Chains A and B, each alone.
Chain A
Amino acid sequence: MTELARTRPERFFSERFNVTPSLMERLLGANLAGRADDADVYLEYRVNEELLLEEGTVKKASRHVSQGAGVRAQSGARTGYAHTDDLSVSNLEEAARQARAIADRASVSAVVGVGARGRPHDLYPLDESPVVTDLTRKVELLRSVDAATQAADPRVRQVIASLTSEEVVMLIATVSGWTVGDIRPLTRLNVTAIAEENGKREIGTYGGGGRVPFTFFLEEGRWRRFAGEAARQATLKLGAVDAPAGTMTVVLGPGWPGILLHEAVGHGLEGDFNRKGVSAFAGRMGQRVASELVTVIDDGTMPSRRGSLNVDDEGTPTGRTVLIDRGVLCGYMQDRLNARLMGMAPTGNGRRESYAYPPMPRMTNTFMLAGQDDPEEIIRSVDRGLYAVAFGGGQVDITSGKFVFSASEAYLIEGGRVTAPVKGATLIGNGPDALTRVTRVGADLKLDEGIGTCGKDGQSVPVGVGLPTIRIDAMTVGGTAV
């Protein structure tokens, strides 16, 4: 892999698999051009490594390699897609024939010449890719994390620390006659603590990462902070009271609670759902969907972030898309297909889990711009309510607009003060109006630590979220205390 990180994707696929630019030209030209509105060949090579430490020793160490090609032809709203993990010429040609079967235009063979196109950004230049870093340094880090988590509190009984590192080399050639490639590092450190006291057990999880080198975890006391947070969350929850049930004022802390945006508005503003008219936001462009304090942005160009990409998985440069501007819906996230069919421009949001899937519109890093309010003052402004600072996952029903996200660390607010920690509870709301009830927006915008994975139609991709402290005046909290 060492040579990999320094080579260009074009050269990598040509040298390693003998998939040369002229072969890609032939695949596109002889098989696809003239028959389709759009067509491309996507090549991918992925190395993934996972180390897991529990009970003080490395229990799992694994390394996975996958490679493959996806060939796509589009005609109108139709997509033919074929993928194979065998990069031989005959297999690629067979994949191209299968993909084009859907594009039944007059069959005129055409010549396509593909020229290399430079990457528009260089958002994650690394001296050393995380998959290359020496394993003994990684094991040493996991041991330190384990010891720090155990030492944080005598009630911590079990610690699971894991480190995953990945590198993806991709190259896409399109029928429009250009190729673009990218090399994408990704790493994540995760800490889980199980705490016990008087027969009660609780779990705390914390972590982070991004398109960063291994040394990221050693900087700014990060790994130590992750360890401390996991232990703190687990022990805090040992003393949690039942969460309240019903509709109340909710204050969300900064950072990862931005998952609210991902579920409440993000998915509903993906181009495919809106082209099909099945999103609760369909046809609402230009309308007010949030309070005027709310501006929501999806930005794939933030350096080193987990959700960032130099180019998306269709080769389109990523960008910064304003989704909601001071409460007014003003943008969708698009891939090439949906942009073409809706008469809009692609926004660099065409993403796929791997070569085994065709791309679709997906989020990158989705966050709300900071406001003016002092976070402490936002809490003081609430007489009775819930203050939620950490969350597990969320989900949305695109069509009805109903979304949930589950708090893993939350507190009661009583008389303007944060009081007792409460057990985990799911919060539920309606996407098109949840953000209209945002009455305060803090000045403390924070992005998450780099832990998010988004699932859609069975495809998982890494994403980021961000949020300042906000106050939502009415939201339903799914606790058990009536």
Chain B
Amino acid sequence: MKPRASLSTDLLLSVLERAKARGATAADGFLVEEREFTATVRLGEVETVTHARDQRLALRVFVGRAQAAASTSDLSRGSLERVVDEASALAKLTGEDPHAGLPDPAELVDRVPDLDLEDAGAHEIAPEQKIAVARTAESSALESDARITNSEGAEYGDRHARYAYATSGGFLRAYATSSFSVSVSPVASRNGEMQRDSWYSMVRKRARLEDPAAVGRTAAARALRRLGARKVRTVEVPVIFDPDTAASLVRAIAGAASGPSLYRRASFLLDHLGRRIASPSVTIVDDGLIPGALGSRPFDGEGLAVARTHLVRDGVLQSYLLDTYSARKLGLVSTHHAARDGSGVGVSTTNLMLLAGSTSPGDLIASVANGLYVTELIGFGINGVTGDYSRGAAGMWIENGELAYPVEEVTVAGNLLEMFAAIEGIGDDLVLRDRTSSPTLLVGRMVVAGN
């Protein structure tokens, strides 16, 4: 499909003008235009190739202290006019809310920092070359061991997106991002048992994509180490989370620290600002300004400058994650974590990480006489209001400081506040390979349920 010459920022501005003409006292709009390509390969054959081009304009309208939102993927004049009219009509329906409104214009980002998020033109290579990346990842996985007998396939994807944000006060800024990814899901089997695992690489610059053959080998090794998995008996033991599963614990803390859960009193971190919520060795940072990183953005969903925020420092909760509205509700100031969602503005993290400790993952494992090393978590067993935690897990059993055998069909349970207080070891293996990252974490005691 034909690329557009430039981002339709004039459309965005005309929509805001029309909103004001329709009685809005203020309005803001976010425009996204994206092009996407994905190719999946399975057992060496191309399975699916997808080309896409999408656009979406999201509008927020204020009539005094009442607000409403609308969005459309149809950027034709008639459709945009309807969107404005509908949002204006909806705003008359919503209640007056003293905290509703745009941020103070003086606080809007002045100079948009160049965070090196775009790899202009890098997605223009021929589809055959893209398909070859997926093919290499899969064949490397299949060839790495005779027990890799099948595959759910490998996928290459790239995406180029342009974003523009404008307010009725005349603010208009734009930026573009690229992303490239490769993933593969091989299946290992032995004596009728089948185990699948996967690995991936996702980056903003095509040249930094991990060698697809290495991605394939890692995926294969992950599937192979699950063969022969068994259930263990129910026991309370130390639990080590590998970096991927540990990152999900960090995400749960961020969720509880986000403004909307707090003003709804639906968070176990309510009234915890300034209090110890984790072991003193725990520091969690959200940094939206790391050049070329997946979670970076030059400004938030309300045009506010992004910074490095200490969420937790030395075990103490230092900051919540707030947009303008939730900050006003809580009597605080925005931490510039606003994100546009379908129905208006929410809160999201940027590059969220628990900072590395000084112990190698091997030494953490060696310090455990009897316990579980978790490599996968499934299910939704996290209660954000109480912090109660219970999820399905797979991994390896640790015996006398060594990984002894694979484990599956067990759960790990506790309470997030108790788990973070019981962090007894932090690995030195922090790698920023996704939007949320963590080193290996050792939690002193959790209940592992099995037989």
Q: Does B380 lie within 8 Å of A82, measured CB to CB?
A: no
Say yes or no: is A194 at the interface (Cβ < 8 Å to chain B): yes
Given contacts A478-B412, A480-B414, contact A424 B234 (CB under 8 A): no
Given contacts A61-B68, A61-B93, A102-B46, contact A85 B73 (CB under 8 A): yes
* B71 contacts across to A, CB distance below 8 A: 62-65
The stretch that binds B, out of A6-14, A211-219, A241-249, A296-304, is A241-249
The stretch that binds B, out of A169-177, A274-282, A327-335, A465-473, is A274-282
- CB neighbors of B among A422-478 (8 A): 423-426, 428-430, 476-478
Task: Give bound CA distance, A101 to B37, whole Å.
Answer: 14
**Option from A196, A478, A482 in Cβ contact (under 8 Å) with B411:** A478
Task: Give bound CA distance, A69 to B93, whole Å.
Answer: 33
Chain A residue nearest in CB terms to B46: A78
B195 CB → nearest A CB, Å: 6
Task: Give bound CA distance, A253 to B408, whole Å.
Answer: 27
Say yes or no: is A144 at the interface (Cβ < 8 Å to chain B): no
B contact set with A: CB distance below 8 Å:
1-2, 42, 45-56, 68-74, 79, 82-83, 86-87, 89-91, 93-97, 127, 150-152, 187, 194-196, 226, 229, 231, 234-236, 264-266, 268, 270, 342-344, 376, 378-381, 383-386, 388, 390-392, 394, 408-415, 447, 449-451
Q: Does B450 lie within 8 Å of A476, measured CB to CB?
A: yes
Q: Does A428 lie within 8 Å of B409, measured CB to CB?
A: yes
Contact-residue bracket for chain A: 35 or more
Q: Does A423 lie within 8 Å of B392, measured CB to CB?
A: no
Chain B residue nearest in CB terms to A196: B265
Q: Could you jot down 5 A-B contacts, CB within 8 Å?
A: A64-B72, A81-B48, A202-B386, A424-B381, A425-B413
Task: Give bound CA distance, A107 to B93, whole Å.
Answer: 57
Q: Does A404 lie within 8 Å of B386, measured CB to CB?
A: no
Say yes or no: is A20 at the interface (Cβ < 8 Å to chain B): no
Say yes or no: is A308 at the interface (Cβ < 8 Å to chain B): no
Say yes or no: is A160 at the interface (Cβ < 8 Å to chain B): yes
Q: Does A276 lie within 8 Å of B385, measured CB to CB?
A: no
Q: Does B264 lie within 8 Å of A158, measured CB to CB?
A: yes
Known: A56-B95, A194-B265, A278-B187. 14 other contacts (CB 8 A): A59-B97, A61-B69, A77-B42, A80-B48, A82-B51, A84-B1, A139-B93, A278-B150, A397-B196, A403-B378, A406-B381, A423-B383, A478-B391, A478-B412
- CB neighbors of B among A389-443 (8 A): 392-400, 402-406, 423-426, 428-430
Given contacts A136-B93, A194-B265, contact A201 B54 (CB under 8 A): no
Chain A residue nearest in CB terms to B268: A201
**Option from A60, A397, A425 in Cβ contact (under 8 Å) with B94:** A60
Chain A residue nearest in CB terms to B341: A62
* B412 contacts across to A, CB distance below 8 A: 478
**Interchain Cβ contacts within 8 Å, total number:** 281
- The CB with the most chain B CB atoms within 10 A, among A56, A59, A79, A135, is that of A59
**Option from B51, B55, B408 in Cβ contact (under 8 Å) with A95:** B51
Q: Does A276 lie within 8 Å of B379, measured CB to CB?
A: no
Given contacts A404-B379, A426-B391, contact A62 B48 (CB under 8 A): no
Task: Give bound CA distance, A245 to B151, whole Å.
Answer: 35
**Option from A77, A243, A481 in Cβ contact (under 8 Å) with B45:** A77
A266 CB → nearest B CB, Å: 15
* B447 contacts across to A, CB distance below 8 A: 245, 478-482
Q: Does A404 lie within 8 Å of B385, measured CB to CB?
A: no
Task: Give bound CA distance, A482 to B446, whole Å.
Answer: 11
* B265 contacts across to A, CB distance below 8 A: 157-158, 194, 196, 201
**Option from A64, A90, A243 in Cβ contact (under 8 Å) with B390:** A243
Q: Does A402 lie within 8 Å of B450, measured CB to CB?
A: no
Q: Does A426 lie within 8 Å of B194, measured CB to CB?
A: no
Task: Give bound CA distance, A52 to B342, whole Å.
Answer: 13
Task: Give bound CA distance, A16 to B48, whole Å.
Answer: 31
Q: Does A397 lie within 8 Å of B378, measured CB to CB?
A: yes
Task: Give bound CA distance, A247 to B232, whole Å.
Answer: 11
A149 CB → nearest B CB, Å: 14
The 4 closest A-B pairs by CB, nearest first: A478-B411, A57-B95, A404-B379, A399-B196
**Option from A82, A83, A404 in Cβ contact (under 8 Å) with B392:** A404
* B73 contacts across to A, CB distance below 8 A: 65-68, 85
A448 CB → nearest B CB, Å: 16
A457 CB → nearest B CB, Å: 10
* B45 contacts across to A, CB distance below 8 A: 76-78
B60 CB → nearest A CB, Å: 9
Say yes or no: is A50 at the interface (Cβ < 8 Å to chain B): yes
* B343 contacts across to A, CB distance below 8 A: 50, 52, 60, 62
* B2 contacts across to A, CB distance below 8 A: 90-91, 94
Q: Does B95 lie within 8 Å of A59, measured CB to CB?
A: yes
Contact string against B for A residues 362-397, beta-carbon threshold 8 Å, 1 for contact and 0 otherwise: 000000000000000000000000000000111111
